[in-house]
Structures are given as structure tokens and as C-alpha cells.
């Protein structure tokens, strides 16, 4: 039996086929992958953090800067899908190493004088390297933890995004203010190479699953059924709304603080941390609450599906109030809380997909899920840039853009509430596969 096991019904006492004990070394690998995501999000945030100096130096219009923010995602989804199928066959240890090397090398061209075209190309290459990052890291961690223990390590992994911003923003902003935005990119390249060295020394493959062996022995579910299941569609829809907010935070939050609200670049660096601090709290709480609920026999429909979707709706409603409150403090508070609540969905969706996806197919399914929801990263920054450039004033443009974000979040949260039923998904998919097999057998049978 694969490590994700069979979804546990409420009150069920049936023993799982997966090991109950967490293998030695699991938390070391979890910490390394947490750092992997720290580097990943530090790489993402640097363009937004240096947005105003970049626009000034390269004489960019808002639409051009929006294009730069979106360019990171041009190959993001394609790369995620391709690598997702690769990790079904290749050890995640070496895939993660390769991705981190690409990240580091993509940063160094920005150290010297750079044109908009060069910056654009380097961001596209970086996006191709970072597209598979989260899904491969999740797949790697799930080789160390059985299903009932995956919520907390998933939350810790997700926390890497918040800490990547919390730790990187003050350091990178200091470099930008006191030296140049060019050197901020170079610093990230060096940090990436340091992680590569640490992973070479300490990174290992998890012992709970051998996906190559499982690919031969484990029953499979057709990818079409997995990818059209209501829980998969619900995860994509719900996380799409969350990622819309995240991609705006990565690209437009600091420019909004500087150009929209009039803060200095130095002060904006500190303010830019706030959504990630709040989001980090939401992520940890969600992982802990989900795991406690499941330990008490609550179905994953509630402990994962509802728990992840409700904050999206609440966050969208709070964000929608942003244009109706007066004062920079209240507007920042609405933006911080509204966008920060999105973090809950990232914790619960990968474990939900892992509930019903065979381990030998899980890497590809989680990667395709990531590839689809991150399409929001292509759309959201460009939409915001276009709205700002066409608005009567800069602040009006930002407020309209954040209102659009609120509508997307509310809609995605509602879809999550309607579609996320992981506790019944595996049984339904298994029945469907068995029925198809039986029908096929009946066709070829001489009787």
C-alpha cells in the first residue's frame, strides 16, 4: 500500500497500511526544504521590492513593469508539468538540486548594467526553474511522512514562502537603498549556491515510498479521472484566487506603498513584511488545526476542504473594504489581513490531492495542480499594471486592482467550499476505475 493510504472516515479506527512512526532524518530534510522555499520566495520578491528603482532606472511604464512581473510565470506552468512527470521516475534529491542551481545562475546577469530585455529573459528563466519547486518539495516531503502526519510538514514548507520574504526584505532592501538593486540579485545568487552545498551534504530521499517500484506494483487511476475529479478542480480554483493575491503582493505591494501611499523606499521595506508575517501565522495555525481535527476523527472534507476555503472568502470580503476606508493605516491593515488569510489553502490542498492520488502518480498530479493555479501569476500583475496606467489617478488604479483581487478571492473560496470532498474522492475514483475494468472485461469475455 502507498504511503498516502486510504482516506479515513470520521470515527474510523481502521489501521492504515502506512507506518505510524516518522523516520529518522525527516525533520532535517523538512528544514532543508523549508530553506529551499525561503530562497525560492526571496528570488520572487526582489523585483517587486526593487520595483520603483527598476522603473526609474529603466524608465518603465506601469504596463511594462506589470509585464516584467508576469514574465516570471511565462514558463512556470510548463516547467512544473514537465518536471512533475520527471519526479515520478527520478529521485527528488537530484531534481531539487538542479532547480536550485538554475535559480542561482539566473540571478548573476543582473549584477552589471542590464536592459529591460535582459531582465525579462532572466526572470523567464528563473520562473522556469522555480515553477516545479513547491510541488517537487511537497512530493519529497511526503516520502518521509504518512498521510495523517503531512499537514504540519506541509505548513512548515509553505512557511518558507513567508520567511523568504520576512528574512529577505530587510536585507535586500538595505542593499537596494545603500548600494544598488543590481547587487540584490547577486546576493540571492550567492545564497542559492550556499543552499546547493547544504543539500549536497545533507539532502536524502525519503524511505517511505519507492515511486519506481510503486509504478509497477501499485494500481493506477487514469490521469483524466484524477484531473477532472471535483476535488482536483476545487483545489485549482481555490488556490488560483490565493495566488492572484500572492502574485500581486510579490510584484505590486512595495510600489503601492511607495507610489500609492507615499512611503519612502526604506519604510516601504518594513511595511512590505507585514502581509507575510500575518500569513505565516495563518499557515502554521491551519496546519496545526487541521492535524488536530483529523486526530479527533473529523473528516478531511472539514479538516482540509472547509478549513482552507472559508479564509479565502473572509479575506476577499476584507480586501473589498479597502477602497472604502480612509487613511493609509486602515488600507494597509485591510490589505495585510485580506491577502494574508489566503495562506490557509496552500496547507490543505497538497494533502487533499495526496489522499486519493496513487504515490507513483502524485508528483505529476501535484505539479499539474501547481501549473494551473499559478497561471494567476501571469494574469494578475498585468491586469494591475493596465488598471493603474488607465486610471484617473495612481491610487484609484491600485484600489480598482485590489477590488478585482477581492472578487477573484471570494469566487475561488466559494468554489472550494462546493468542490472539495477529498474524503470520498478515492472511493469514487476507485469504483469508477473498477467499473471501467469490468466493462472492458465483459467486452472481451467469450461469455
What secondary structure, in 3-state letters, does 199-232 show? HHHHCCCCCCCCHHHHHHHCCCCCHHHHHCCHHH
- Residues 124-133 have a mean pLDDT of 92
Identify the pLDDT of residue 245: 94
445 pLDDT band (50/70/90 cuts)?
very low
* 20: three-class secondary structure by DSSP: coil
Residue-range domain boundaries for the chain? 27-439
Which of 353, 114, 360, 323 lies closest to 220 in space, CA to CA? Answer: 360
Mean predicted confidence (pLDDT) in 348-376 = 89
Q: If 0-12 CB within 10 Å is exposed, 13-18 middle and 19+ buried, where does residue 437 land?
A: exposed
pLDDT score for 25: 83
d(C-alpha 420, C-alpha 305), whole Å: 5
* Fold (topology level) of 27-439: Growth Hormone; Chain: A; (1.20.1250)
Find which of 42-56, 276-290, 304-318 is predicted with most confidence, using mean pLDDT: 304-318
Distances (CA, A) of 173 to 39, 184, 187, 263, 396: 16, 8, 12, 14, 27
Residue 43 near residue 107, CB atoms below 8 Å: yes
Q: What is the pLDDT of residue 364?
A: 84
How far is 128 from 122, CA to CA, in rounded Å?
Answer: 10
pLDDT > 90 in the chain, percent: 44
Which comes out higher in pLDDT, residue 169 or 217?
A: 169
Q: What is the mean pLDDT of the chain?
A: 85
Q: How many CB atoms lie within 10 A of CB 381?
A: 28
CA distances from 250 to 41, 70, 403 (A): 9, 10, 17
Mind listing the pLDDT tens digit for each residue in 78-97? 898 899 888 888 889 999 99
pLDDT higher than 50, residue 65: yes
Distance CA 53, CA 55 (A): 6
Mean predicted confidence (pLDDT) in 114-124: 91
Those residues with Cβ within 8 angstroms of residue 393's Cβ, 6 or more apart along the chain or in another chain:
none
Question: Is the Cα dihedral 228, 234, 239, 244 positive or negative?
Answer: positive
Over 80: is that where the pLDDT of 12 sits?
no
- The residue-averaged pLDDT of 3-14 equals 38
N-term to C-term CA, the chain: 33
pLDDT at 204 over 50: yes
Q: Please check the confidence at residue 69 and state whether its pLDDT lies above 90.
A: no
| Residue 13 pLDDT greater than 60, yes or no | no
Amino acid at each position: 500500500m502507498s504511503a498516502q493510504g486510504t482516506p479515513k472516515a470520521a470515527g474510523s479506527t481502521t489501521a492504515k497500511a502506512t507506518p505510524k512512526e516518522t523516520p529518522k532524518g525527516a525533520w532535517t530534510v523538512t528544514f532543508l526544504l523549508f530553506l529551499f522555499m525561503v530562497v525560492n520566495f526571496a528570488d520572487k520578491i526582489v523585483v517587486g521590492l526593487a520595483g520603483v528603482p527598476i522603473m526609474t532606472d529603466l524608465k518603465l511604464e506601469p504596463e511594462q513593469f506589470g509585464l516584467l512581473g508576469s514574465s516570471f510565470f511565462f514558463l512556470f506552468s510548463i516547467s512544473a508539468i514537465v518536471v512533475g512527470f520527471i519526479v515520478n521516475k527520478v529521485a527528488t534529491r537530484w531534481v531539487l538540486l538542479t532547480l536550485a542551481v538554475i535559480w542561482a545562475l539566473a540571478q548573476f546577469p543582473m549584477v552589471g548594467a542590464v536592459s529591460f530585455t535582459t531582465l525579462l529573459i532572466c526572470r523567464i528563466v528563473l520562473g522556469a526553474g522555480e515553477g516545479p519547486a513547491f510541488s517537487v518539495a511537497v512530493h519529497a516531503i511526503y516520502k518521509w511522512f504518512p498521510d495523517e502526519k503531512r499537514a504540519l510538514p506541509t505548513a512548515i514548507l509553505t512557511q518558507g514562502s513567508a520567511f523568504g520574504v520576512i528574512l529577505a526584505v530587510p536585507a535586500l532592501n538595505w542593499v537596494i537603498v545603500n548600494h544598488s538593486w543590481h547587487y540584490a540579485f547577486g546576493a540571492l545568487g550567492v545564497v542559492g549556491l550556499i543552499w546547493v552545498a547544504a543539500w549536497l551534504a545533507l539532502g536524502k530521499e525519503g524511505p517511505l515510498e519507492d515511486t519506481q517500484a510503486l509504478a509497477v506494483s501499485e494500481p493506477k487511476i487514469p490521469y483524466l479521472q484524477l484531473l477532472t475529479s471535483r476535488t482536483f478542480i476545487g483545489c485549482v480554483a481555490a488556490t488560483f484566487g490565493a495566488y492572484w493575491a500572492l502574485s500581486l503582493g510579490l510584484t505590486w505591494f512595495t510600489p503601492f506603498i511607495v507610489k500609492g501611499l507615499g512611503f519612502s523606499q526604506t519604510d516601504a521595506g518594513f511595511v512590505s513584511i507585514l502581509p507575510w508575517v500575518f500569513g505565516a501565522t495563518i499557515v502554521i495555525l491551519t496546519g496545526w488545526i487541521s492535524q488536530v481535527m483529523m486526530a479527533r476523527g473529523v473528516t478531511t472534507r472539514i479538516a482540509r476542504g472547509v478549513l482552507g476555503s472559508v479564509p479565502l472568502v473572509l479575506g476577499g470580503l476584507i480586501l473589498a473594504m479597502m477602497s472604502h476606508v480612509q487613511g493609509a493605516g486602515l488600507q494597509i491593515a485591510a490589505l495585510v489581513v485580506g491577502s494574508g488569510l489566503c495562506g490557509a489553502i496552500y496547507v490543505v490542498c497538497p494533502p487533499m490531492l495526496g489522499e486519493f492520488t496513487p504515490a507513483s502518480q502524485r508528483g505529476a498530479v501535484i505539479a499539474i495542480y501547481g501549473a494551473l493555479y499559478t497561471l494567476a501569476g501571469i494574469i494578475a500583475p498585468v491586469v494591475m499594471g493596465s488598471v493603474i496606467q488607465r486610471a484617473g489617478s495612481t491610487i484609484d488604479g491600485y484600489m480598482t486592482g485590489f477590488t478585482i483581487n477581492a472578487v477573484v478571492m471570494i469566487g475561488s473560496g466559494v468554489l472550494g467550499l462546493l468542490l472539495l470532498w477529498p474524503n470520498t474522492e478515492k472511493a469514487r475514483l476507485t469504483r469508477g476505475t473498477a467499473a471501467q475494468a469490468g466493462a472492458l472485461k465483459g467486452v472481451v469475455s467469450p461469455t
